[in-house]
């Protein structure tokens, strides 16, 4: 099992009673709720936590992108990767990911990643996402163009990294007479590309395609759904006549470790419940703007009514669903072993900070996870494991 | 939403224009009246259509991307829809068309008319989208819940209650979803307007009426004035105690006003 540390950088001092007057922590929550003095301390604390994960021996540390929300304070993740690039000595720096369709000029993504790749001498992992639905409200980008812009921006960036420039890129949404980025990326043929997703069939097929073999990172999902999506990726690979490696499959999950199950549950409870019930809170109109998902998936969501817009959830529900792992080191190890066995993934993207979790508990969680979980599982691979096959 | 007249009702038909199989309701004979529906979709035979069908051929399609019509590959923006309808007028061999557009359909009608009025006899806008007045607050209808959407359409909340009480069929729900997708494609950004349209509204040289509900919550009535100023032969007609859809909220008064306008414009 390969371990990465993930930070979302939520605005933890948020007045959690905001929901008495506002529908969501996204898009329309007045930014008067943000206090720059508290925010300055928070940013520095969070960056320290990412650097600490490097010291603790995680294979990589990860940042991501969200806009105009208390849920995550990294609107420009490459700024954060840039701040980490010269201080983090061992760990890979993962930017998971850039929300390609909501950016007005995706060529700048190719440039920024190439710079980071050079400065770190090839220690970055890039990620491409569509952004969640709320981002289309925040950035005034048409959700009906989301898939098409994603694919086109992706093609542009990969070509900018791999084709000798200058060349012309002629797409439907993006036109460049001269694609000729300086610098070129350090890694050959280009930095690794990971695709975090909530499990859309189209995204799984895209990542699993034989010519791409991108790491698929399942986010925020009950365990049963995780197993289904991992299977879908392997089946998509088989349809293209290759067997997917467990190194192509990852799970992004929130984890809390403490001395005993009871202590872990008690310490994590208010903070993980704040995460799901306050930071993640949004109405369906915000989460799924028209065109963002296919009509079929929209119908599924409406029929199931099991969206993140549903009623308040408790830590026990999260544990039962397997959307959160919490307990003593032995419990957490057993859970991860079980999920790896059933899901066949080899990458764990551990969200060891969540919601309002304070600094001391975050450090304790990171230390216990790094010392009492990781070493026991690092050599453990799913049955029939094989590395990613070169073409 | 609106109750179809049980008397005659329209013929239902599919025609293919610009590769798009298009659902059309038609009734009556005479000089043509082409009705372009708003963001909530078409396929509903409204009282004013029945009234006009006594003297006219009334043609009420569902737009490309909406309802029972195809979503063609070329369906990208409002201009595509405008050109499609200019093609449709040609394809049906229509002349002297009285063009009527509500909300999003009003925007399409304007985009058509600035391109060509050669086949048009008149233009009637109803709570039309398409323009933007800086500093005039408008609600974000893409953020509205279904209940807010129903309430926001009408001045008379009894109509909203009636709309909310009606349980739509699965087919109807799917069409509503399709209509929302199509609306997002056309109107997400810029939000329900074309920043260049205002520069060319002066080209509309046919008699024009701008109908507006005085209590329109979606597009405030100050927009009616602006359309009236920018379109040379336009008059503005307000309906009091009326929201975004006078043709639904005040069907008799609306039908009378439109019939009168069309008769004078002929």
Instruction: Indicate if the pLDDT at residue A305 is higher than 60.
Output: no
Sequence-distant (6+) residues with CB within 8 A of B13 are B23, B24, B25, B26
SS3 of chain A: helix, strand, coil, percent, to 5: 45, 15, 40
Please indicate whether, in this complex, the C-beta atoms of B184 and A143 are within 8 angstroms of each other.
yes
CATH number corresponding to A2-377? 3.20.20.30
pLDDT at A183: 98
Q: Where exactly are the structural domains of chain A?
A: 2-377
CA R_g for chain A: 20
B202 phi-psi bin (left φ>0, alpha ψ -120 to 50, beta other)? alpha
Q: Which value does ipTM take for this structure?
A: 0.93
Instruction: Indicate if the pLDDT at residue B3 is higher than 80.
Output: no
Q: Nearest CA to B40 among B212, B223, B239, B173?
A: B173
Q: Is B185 on the interface with A (CB under 8 A)?
A: yes
Say if residues B196 and B224 touch (Cβ distance below 8 Å). Answer: no
Of residues B180, B185, B189, nearest to A140 (C-beta) = B189
Of residues B174, B178, B189, nearest to A142 (C-beta) = B189
Rounded to whole angstroms, the Cα distance separating B61 from B42 reads: 7
Instruction: Please spell the DSSP secondary structure of B193-225, one letter per residue.
Output: B-TTGGGTGGG--S-EEEEEETT-SSS-THHHH
Q: Which residue has the tokens 């940013």?
A: A43
pLDDT at B1: 40
When mean pLDDT is compared across A115-119, A344-348, A381-385, the lowest value belongs to A381-385
Distances (CA, A) of A372 to A4, A254, A327, A329, A362: 15, 17, 12, 6, 15
Task: Give the residue-averaged pLDDT of B79-107.
Answer: 98
Rounded to whole angstroms, the Cα distance separating A146 from A128 reads: 13
Instruction: Indicate if the pLDDT at residue A391 is higher than 70.
Output: no
Look at the domain B11-265 and name its fold. Rossmann fold (3.40.50)
pLDDT at A307: 46
Query: Residue B153: which pLDDT band, with cuts at 50, 70 and 90?
Result: very high
Query: Residue A298: which pLDDT band, with cuts at 50, 70 and 90?
Result: confident
% residues pLDDT > 70 (chain A): 97
pLDDT in tens, A198-229: 888 889 999 999 999 999 999 988 999 999 99
Find the closest chain A residue to B179 by CA distance: A290
Mean pLDDT (chain B) is 95
Query: Residue A382: which pLDDT band, with cuts at 50, 70 and 90?
Result: very high
Task: Give the residue-averaged pLDDT of B82-103.
Answer: 98
Instruction: Indicate if the pLDDT at residue B6 is higher than 60.
Output: no
Instruction: Indicate if the pLDDT at residue A311 is higher than 80.
Output: no
Of residues A28, A136, A144, nearest to B181 (C-beta) = A144
Say if residues B152 and B144 touch (Cβ distance below 8 Å). Answer: yes
Instruction: Indicate if the pLDDT at residue A159 is higher than 60.
Output: yes
Task: Give the residue-averaged pLDDT of A125-151.
Answer: 96
% residues pLDDT > 70 (chain B): 97
Please indicate whether, in this complex, the C-beta atoms of B177 and A290 are within 8 angstroms of each other.
yes
Find the closest chain B residue to A282 by CA distance: B143
Q: Is A304 on the interface with B (CB under 8 A)?
A: no
Higher pLDDT, A391 or B162: B162
Helix axes B170-187, B104-115, angle to 10 degrees: 50
pLDDT at A199: 86
Rounded to whole angstroms, the Cα distance separating B114 from A328 reads: 71
Q: Where exactly are the structural domains of chain B?
A: 11-265
Please indicate whether, in this complex, the C-beta atoms of B142 and A289 are within 8 angstroms of each other.
yes
Instruction: Indicate if the pLDDT at residue A195 is higher than 60.
Output: yes
Q: How far is A144 from chain B (nearest CA, A)?
A: 5
Please indicate whether, in this complex, the C-beta atoms of B177 and A289 are within 8 angstroms of each other.
no
pLDDT at B4: 44
pLDDT at A378: 96
Q: Which of residues 130-159 of B touch A (CB under 8 A)?
A: 140, 142-145
Q: Which residue has the tokens 């997400």?
A: B188
Q: Is B178 on the interface with A (CB under 8 A)?
A: yes
Q: How far is A171 from chain B (nearest CA, A)?
A: 15
% residues pLDDT > 90 (chain B): 94
Judge if the upstream peptide bond of residue B190 is cis by omega within 30 degrees of 0: yes
Q: Nearest CA to A190 among A247, A82, A118?
A: A118
């Amino acid at each position: 099992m390969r371990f990465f540390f993930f930070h979302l950088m939520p605005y933890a001092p948020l007045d959690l009673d905001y929901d008495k007057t506002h529908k969501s922590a996204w898009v329309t929550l007045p930014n008067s709720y943000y206090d720059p003095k508290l925010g300055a301390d928070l940013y520095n604390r969070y960056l320290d936590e990412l650097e600490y994960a490097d010291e603790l021996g995680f294979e990589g540390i990860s940042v991501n992108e969200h806009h105009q929300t208390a849920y995550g304070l990294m609107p420009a993740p490459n700024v954060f990767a840039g701040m980490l690039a010269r201080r983090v000595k061992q760990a890979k720096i993962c930017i998971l990911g850039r929300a390609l369709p909501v950016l007005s000029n995706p060529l700048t993504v190719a440039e920024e990643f190439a710079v980071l790749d050079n400065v770190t001498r090839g220690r970055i992992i890039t990620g491409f996402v569509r952004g969640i639905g709320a981002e289309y409200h925040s950035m005034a980008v048409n959700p009906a163009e989301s898939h098409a812009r994603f694919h086109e921006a992706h093609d542009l960036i990969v070509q900018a990294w791999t084709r000798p420039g200058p060349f012309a890129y002629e797409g439907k949404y993006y036109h460049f007479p001269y694609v000729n980025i300086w610098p070129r990326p350090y890694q050959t043929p280009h930095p690794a590309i990971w695709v975090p997703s909530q499990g859309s069939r189209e995204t799984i097929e895209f990542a699993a395609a034989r010519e791409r073999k991108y790491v698929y990172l399942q986010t925020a999902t009950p365990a049963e759904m995780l197993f289904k999506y991992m299977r879908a990726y392997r089946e998509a690979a088989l349809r293209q006549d290759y067997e997917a490696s467990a190194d192509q499959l990852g799970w992004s999950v929130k984890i809390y470790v403490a001395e005993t199950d009871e202590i872990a549950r008690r310490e994590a409870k208010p903070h993980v419940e704040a995460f799901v019930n306050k930071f993640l809170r949004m109405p369906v109109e915000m989460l799924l703007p028209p065109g963002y998902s296919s009509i079929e998936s929209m119908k599924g969501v409406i029929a199931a009514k099991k969206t993140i817009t549903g009623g308040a959830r408790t830590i026990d529900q999260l544990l039962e669903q397997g959307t959160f792992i919490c307990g003593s080191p032995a419990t957490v190890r057993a859970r991860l072993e079980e999920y790896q066995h059933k899901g066949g993934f080899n990458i764990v993207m551990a969200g060891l900070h969540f919601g309002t979790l304070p600094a001391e508990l975050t450090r304790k969680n990171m230390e216990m996870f790094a010392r009492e979980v990781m070493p026991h599982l690092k050599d453990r691979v799913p049955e029939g494991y094989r590395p990613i096959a070169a073409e | 939403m609106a109750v179809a007249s049980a008397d005659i009702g329209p013929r239902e038909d599919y025609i293919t224009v610009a590769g798009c199989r298009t659902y059309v309701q038609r009734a009556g004979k005479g000089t043509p009246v082409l009705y372009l529906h708003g963001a909530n979709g078409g396929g509903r035979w409204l009282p004013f259509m029945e009234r006009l069908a006594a003297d006219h051929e009334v043609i009420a399609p569902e737009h490309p991307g909406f309802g029972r019509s195809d979503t063609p590959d070329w369906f990208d923006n409002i201009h595509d829809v405008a050109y499609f309808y200019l093609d449709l007028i040609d394809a049906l061999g229509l002349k002297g068309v009285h063009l009527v557009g509500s909300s999003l359909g009003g925007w399409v009608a304007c985009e058509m008319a600035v391109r060509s009025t050669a086949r048009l006899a008149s233009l009637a806008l109803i709570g039309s989208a398409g323009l933007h007045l800086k500093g005039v607050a408008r609600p974000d209808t893409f953020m509205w819940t279904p209940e807010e959407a129903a309430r926001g359409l009408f001045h008379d909340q009894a109509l909203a209650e009636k709309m909310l009480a009606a349980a739509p069929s699965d087919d109807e729900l799917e069409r509503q979803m399709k209509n929302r997708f199509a609306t997002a494609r056309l109107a997400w950004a810029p939000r329900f307007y074309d920043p260049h349209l205002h520069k060319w509204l002066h080209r509309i040289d046919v008699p024009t009426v701008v109908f507006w509900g005085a209590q329109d919550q979606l597009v405030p009535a100050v927009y009616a004035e602006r359309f009236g100023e920018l379109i040379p032969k336009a008059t503005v007609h307000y309906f009091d105690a009326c929201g975004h859809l006078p043709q639904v909220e005040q069907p008799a008064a609306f039908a009378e006003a439109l019939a009168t306008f069309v008769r004078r414009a002929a």
